[in-house]
Structure 1
């Protein structure tokens, strides 16, 4: 049996994402309270791998005047990574037995990837991935698709929770599906 590759987004597909946990731990009441420069630093520069974790933490301190230690800032940043999406750890763990090879395809930072590997019980079933911090691009930018296809070919399926990323993948010729639940993924895979 030939393995079919499945491209899996991480956030809100495999594991819950809770930015409000980070904001609260850093003393902000909401996303609106966080300086735009901090959001750009985390969501663009750090997730694109343009800066190291140390540079991100130093930049955060400089932009907010925070006195938190590196460990405290890292812990707050990692609080964004929640618990596994119901049913996904079990589904992902069983994919190889069904002839599928799951591969992560995600906009993420090295720090969040480490936290995902710690918190997602099926992480060992997905040893490979294409990540924005390694490609220096984010979905749906062409370099992300090119990097995936260069290593794994066009996936048989791609699951993501964001409609604009599904649309981008479909324009690129991928069989992309908006993630709803583990049960829905199971039905699509047959």
Structure 2
């Protein structure tokens, strides 16, 4: 079945997301490992991705760990530096799909304020036909409820959706609902999948 719409994850599909690498550059790998071992930064980020206020959530964590206060606050203050670099070939694929009239959606675990900020820095985040952002929806991948909400909103059968994500658990949850999927590892593989799906030609993905 040829997909009727394509759904992009954002982090590590369209934009890099590697907080560990950011902190390695800032404070060195050894200190970063100590920070991540002592402070649940990923848990903090999940709260933000579920709709908690960005600055207030980071500030509260910094106040709970005064010995790491500067480093924790950096999660907010230097956040835009964590979502680098742009994965330009993936952005090109998004735009080629849209140029052919294929509906393109975003489905991403992302905070409300951080996503709004990212939209001011990355123009392609304003080019989706629809955005499904966990912070707005108050539910995250791989919870089946977020996939069900997408299906209801777009009004397409699960099998008509082709979804790319870099996390196996998110892909597995989509497959369980009958979505077509692609586990994203690099743009070339995603381009090949779009060709196999009949959405782009080899010439279009190489152009």
TM category (shorter chain) comes to: 0.7 to 0.9
3-state SS in 1 of match to 2:16: strand
Equivalence for 1:116: 118
The CA deviation at 1:26 is 6.7
Indicate the RMSD between aligned Cα atoms, in angstroms.
2.7
Question: Radius of gyration: which is bigger?
Answer: 2
Length-normalised TM-score, structure 2: 0.76
Count residues in correspondence.
186
- Deviations along 1:136-189, one digit per CA (max 9) or x if unpaired, are 221110221122112113352100111221111101111011113333323322
3-state SS in 1 of match to 2:43: helix
Q: How does 1:81-160 map to 2 (within 5 A)?
A: 81-152=83-154, 153=156, 154=158, 155-160=160-165
Q: Structure 2: where are the runs of 5+ without partners? A: 196-207
Equivalence for 1:7: 7
Equivalence for 1:161: 166
3-state SS in 2 of match to 1:126: coil
Bigger shift: residues 77-86 or 120-129: 120-129
3-state SS in 2 of match to 1:17: coil
Q: Which structure is higher in strand share?
A: 1
3-state SS in 2 of match to 1:79: helix
3-state SS in 2 of match to 1:105: strand
1:63 aligns with 2:64: yes
* Runs of 4+ in structure 1 over 6 Å off: none
Q: Is the 8 A contact 1:81 1:112 kept in 2?
A: no
* Cα distance in 2 for residues equivalent to 1:89 and 1:141: 26
Q: Which structure is higher in helix share?
A: 2
Q: Structure 1: where are the runs of 5+ without partners? A: none
Length-normalised TM-score, structure 1: 0.82
